[in-house]
């Protein structure tokens, strides 16, 4: 009786099998991290601010929010309006308070008029400054009236200064516990387009045009006030 030869798998078959396994593993990992809600804390001393080994949940520390308009914020905004030359500094708490108050009435009116037409509900913007790094987080609820799914978008931001003034760019992005690498340029373009489309109050636009440069130092945002060269 003729002995049958063992058929060895072809190289292409092995490559396709390995690639399929890697793809399914990556897809599973993305699904797990994206579906795992991030924990938001105000201090690392809070309960639940740390995770156990094997728990891939991301922990984000929320930026502080001032309860009232501080004298420093009021004075800094006044200098921006008058274009009084020199640096003015703001804390994360003051920045979060300012943007929380900016256009608050218009936002509430829009939400009340069309509650059932919103495919997603966007929560308040929050900024955290850590030394010379800046993080912004935004809570998004997809399909809030049907089967809601929460996403916490956390972006690391930086200002790039030029003669025409500071420009905001995104250097890192996470959705829930999933890091999104290599999309900084795309997200920056989307953010800049959204900023350009937003109907900002005239007062805010005038103040922004009086800012020459923006830097971060010791947990403070420092705006240099003066006339731009271009």
| Under 8 Å between Cβ of 191 and 168 | yes
Residue 46 lies in a domain: no
H or E, element range at 99: helix 92-101
190 vs 160, more confident: 160
Residue 177 lies in a domain: yes
CA angle in degrees (0–180, nearest 5) for 3-7-22: 155
Residue 194 lies in a domain: yes
Residue 66 lies in a domain: yes
Residue 55 lies in a domain: no
Residue 227 has pLDDT above 80, yes or no: yes
Residue 10 lies in a domain: no
Residue 5 lies in a domain: no
Residue 103 lies in a domain: yes
What is the number of structural domains in the chain? Answer: 1
Pick the most confident of 26-40, 105-119, 165-179, 206-220. Answer: 206-220
- From 203, 211, 139, select the one nearest 168 (Cα to Cα): 211
pLDDT in tens, 161-217: 999 999 988 888 877 777 777 655 666 676 677 677 777 888 899 999 999 999 999
H or E, element range at 9: none
Provide the domain limits for residue 198. Answer: 61-225
119 vs 198, more confident: 198
Phi and psi angles of residue 166, each rounded to the nearest 5 degrees, phi first: -75, 145
Residue 18 has pLDDT above 60, yes or no: no
């Amino acid at each position: 009786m003729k002995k049958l030869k063992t058929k060895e798998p072809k190289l292409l078959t092995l490559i396709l099998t390995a690639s399929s396994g890697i793809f399914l593993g990556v897809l599973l990992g993305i699904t797990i991290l994206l579906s795992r809600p991030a924990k938001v804390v105000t201090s690392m001393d809070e309960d639940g601010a740390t995770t156990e080994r094997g728990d891939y949940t991301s922990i984000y520390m929320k930026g502080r929010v001032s309860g009232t308009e501080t004298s420093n914020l009021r004075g800094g905004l006044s200098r921006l309006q008058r274009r009084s030359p020199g640096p003015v500094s703001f804390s994360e708490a003051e920045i979060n308070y300012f943007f929380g108050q900016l256009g608050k009435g218009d936002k509430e009116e829009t939400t009340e008029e069309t509650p059932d037409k919103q495919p997603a509900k966007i929560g308040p913007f929050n900024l955290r400054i850590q030394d010379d790094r800046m993080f912004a987080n935004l809570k998004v609820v997809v399909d809030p009236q049907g089967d809601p799914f929460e996403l916490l978008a956390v972006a690391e931001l930086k200002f790039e200064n030029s003669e025409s003034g500071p420009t905001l760019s995104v250097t890192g992005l996470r959705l829930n516990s999933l890091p999104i690498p290599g999309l900084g340029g795309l997200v920056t373009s989307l953010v800049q387009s959204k900023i350009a489309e937003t109907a900002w109050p005239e007062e805010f636009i005038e103040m922004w045009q009086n800012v020459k440069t923006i830097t971060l130092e010791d947990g403070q945002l420092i705006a240099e006030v003066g006339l731009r060269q271009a």
